[in-house]
Amino acid sequence: MRTVFTVTLQSSGRQFPLRPGETVLEAAQRAGIALPYSCRAGVCGSCKATLLEGHCEYPRNPPVALSGTPASQHAILLCQAVPTSDLRIEAREVTSVEDITRRQLDVVVSDKRLLAPDVVGVWLTPAPGQPRLQWLPGQYLDVLLDDGRRRPFSIANHPGADGVIELHVRHVAGGGFTSWVADTLKVGDALRIEGPLGTFVPREDSVRPMIFMAGGTGFAPVKAVVEHFIALGTRRPMRVYWGARRAEDLYQRGLAQGWMQRAHALSFEGVISDPEQAPAGLRVGLVHEAVLEDQPDLSGHDVYMSGPPAMIDAGRKLFVDAGLPEDRLYYDSFDYAPDVLAQILAGRAGIAER
């Protein structure tokens, strides 16, 4: 297929061609170049880059994540931007994921447990004759549905020799696939998945203290990344914050508290947003506010955050205001599945699957 334009990455000088109608992210992935992304729907802002030269348009979804961004910053969203000329951009490259092959494979449900009143833990193993999925801690996968739709779920563990994949699935009433997982899926059932996806992965080339902030089941990828650093024996200080509305939503609080005995310098804080639902010993408030109360100057930190869009959006703005360089802020936004997002943008109701 003919190419129409070329994208040049300012920092590395790497170039890749685009096909007609391709987004910058799609073309980069086809060329084996890993650029940051999460939701792939233009909402979360993980893939925001700086446009130095050229022009693009947004024919698929509106670039919601650019709302409020000053025009002088010349920001684009890689997952939605379709170039109308050659481009030169400044974007973070995540080279650690470039050598991992994205593939589809069949898996079998090896275990299923209720983690909270509305959260189900699902453990998957490769089906007989299937290879193990290779991934980095913090990445996610798509469950492929029979009708061609996809449902993304973060992987809650780091890779092991047994190839087991751990997922935390929040059951949303009327939520289609999540209702099926909660009510119908059973041990021994087969699923087809594709992965790994995403660039919310550990950055090991830093010596700075780390802050992790999770909201709800956004704890899943944070758990994977934190346990990876613990397994490495890192000496870097780690502060982990997990926000939820009710205490029972901190469904693996005991596990997180146990990290403090295993890690060199790790603290854990559970934060409950509903004062009436907070038992003694748990902090009350919004989780991003708790982070800033404890660490008002973030200029010397690396920050990882994962959870619902409202939490991500608040943290993204306020943490940068607190001195955090934007290129040291890594996040995974649990946004709407693309087909559900389309319904929302059309003015109809929808629910978040991841």
Q: What one-letter code names the amino acid at 341?
A: L
In angstroms, the CA 234 to CA 176 distance is 41
pLDDT mean across residues, the chain:
90
Q: Are residues 178 and 215 in the same domain?
A: no
The tokens for 220 are: 């899943």
Count of domains for the chain:
3
Q: Are residues 250 and 325 in the same domain?
A: yes
In angstroms, the CA 74 to CA 46 distance is 16
**340: in domain:** no
The tokens for 262 are: 């295993």
> For residues 244, 160, 40 and 28, what is the CA-based torsion angle, rounded to 10 degrees?
150
The domain containing residue 70 runs over which residues? 5-93
pTM for the model = 0.86
Distance between first and last Cα of the chain: 34
The pLDDT tens digits of the residues spanning 237-281 come to 999 999 999 999 999 999 999 999 999 899 999 999 999 888 877
**347: in domain:** no
Sequence length of the chain is 354
Helices 287-294, 309-321: inter-axial angle, 10-degree rounding:
20
Containing H/E element for 217?
none
- Rounded to the nearest angstrom, the gap between the alpha carbon of residue 298 and the centroid of all alpha carbons in its chain is 21
CATH of the domain at 37: 3.10.20.30
Q: Are residues 220 and 136 in the same domain?
A: no
The pLDDT tens digits of the residues spanning 162-211 come to 999 999 999 877 668 888 999 999 999 999 999 999 999 999 999 999 99
In angstroms, the CA 152 to CA 96 distance is 21
In angstroms, the CA 6 to CA 294 distance is 45
Containing H/E element for 172?
none
Q: Is the pLDDT of residue 3 over 70?
A: no
Domain end among 47, 66, 93: 93
